[in-house]
Amino acid sequence: MSDIEAIGKRLMQLVERSKDMDALESARIAVLGKNGELTALLKTLGSMSPEERVEKGHKINLWKAAIIGTIEAQKTIFETATLQTRLATERVDMTLPAPDAPRGTIHPVSQVMDELAEIFADMGFAVAEGPEIEDDWHNFTALNIPETHPARAMHDTFYFPDDMARDGQKMVLRTHTSPVQIRTMTSQEPPIRIIAPGRVYRSDSDATHTPMFHQIEGLVIDKGIHLGHLKWTLETFLKAYFEREDVVLRLRPSYFPFTEPSVEVDVGYSVINGKRVIGGAEGWMEVLGSGMVHRKVIAACGLDPDVWQGFAFGTGVDRLAMLKYGMDDLRAFFDGDNRWLQHYGFNALDVPTLSGGVGA
Mean pLDDT score across all residues of the chain: 86
Q: Which pLDDT does position 162 carry in this prediction?
A: 85
Q: Which pLDDT does position 205 carry in this prediction?
A: 65
Identity of residue 200: V
Give the confidence band of 358 by pLDDT, cuts at 50, 70, 90.
confident
* Fold classification of 106-345 (topology level): BirA Bifunctional Protein; domain 2 (3.30.930)
Q: Which pLDDT does position 1 carry in this prediction?
A: 44
pTM over 0.75: no
Q: What is the mean pLDDT of residues 86-113?
A: 80
Give the confidence band of 207 by pLDDT, cuts at 50, 70, 90.
low
List the domain boundaries for the chain.
4-89, 106-345
Q: What is the mean pLDDT of residues 107-122?
A: 91
pLDDT tens string 121-170: 999 999 999 999 999 899 998 998 877 776 666 667 888 888 888 888 88
Q: How many CB atoms lie within 10 A of CB 301?
A: 21
For 62, the enclosing helix (H) or strand (E) is: helix 50-89
Give the confidence band of 62 by pLDDT, cuts at 50, 70, 90.
confident
Give the confidence band of 336 by pLDDT, cuts at 50, 70, 90.
confident
CA 29 to chain centre: 51
Give the confidence band of 254 by pLDDT, cuts at 50, 70, 90.
very high
For 267-332, give the DSSP string. Answer: EEEEEETTEEEESSSSEEEEEEEEEEEPHHHHHHTT--TTT-EEEEEEEEHHHHHHHHHT---GGG
Distances (CA, A) of 249 to 120, 123, 238, 264, 287: 18, 19, 9, 10, 10
pLDDT tens string 310-321: 999 999 898 888
DSSP 8-state code for residue 245: S
Q: Which of 5-14, 192-201, 265-274, 322-331 has the highest mean pLDDT?
A: 192-201
Distances (CA, A) of 324 to 91, 218, 306: 47, 20, 40
pLDDT tens string 279-298: 888 889 889 999 999 999 99
